[in-house]
Amino acid sequence: MIYSEPMANNTLQTALHQLADKFAKGVVDAFRSASLDEILENAPVRRQARTASVRRKGRKRALSNGTAGADMRLNDLVETVKNFPAGLRSEELRSLLNMEKVAFRLVAREAVEGNLVRRMGEKRATTFFPVRADRL
């Protein structure tokens, strides 16, 4: 009885390895037989390319290969805020712009630092206001 347990475990491992090999070969064959258009059609869609820089542990790394998307998002944010003189909460603004949280934070920070919008509050209570003409 002592010898049957390792034997059963070995048989299970062998069966699992065979199944994994068969599955991997099937995936590779499926990709080889599909066209590039078909593969890209079924690929997950990224909502937005990252277009700013982020500091992590003292290192600066680029998040994209261009700034056109960031400029468009920045302009979208400023124009949206201008349409709401009473201000927009951060969550509402992010929802209107259909942006992910990290990308929104980067664009919002850039807008505030560039004096394109005003920010009041912290965390979930953060509200963005258009910059008044007398403050430019």
Residues 37-47 have pLDDT tens digits of 777 777 776 55
Whether 125 is in a domain gets the answer: yes
pLDDT at 113: 92
Domain assignment of residue 96, given as a range: 53-135
Whether 46 is in a domain gets the answer: no
Same domain, 8 and 74: no
CATH code for position 129: 1.10.10.10
Residue 95's CB is within 10 A of a number of other CB atoms, namely 12
Same domain, 37 and 80: no
Tokens of 123: 């965390």
Percent share of the chain, pLDDT over 90: 28
Same domain, 57 and 123: yes
pLDDT 10s digits, 60-104: 544 444 456 777 888 989 999 999 989 999 999 998 999 998 989
Same domain, 62 and 122: yes
Same domain, 58 and 110: yes
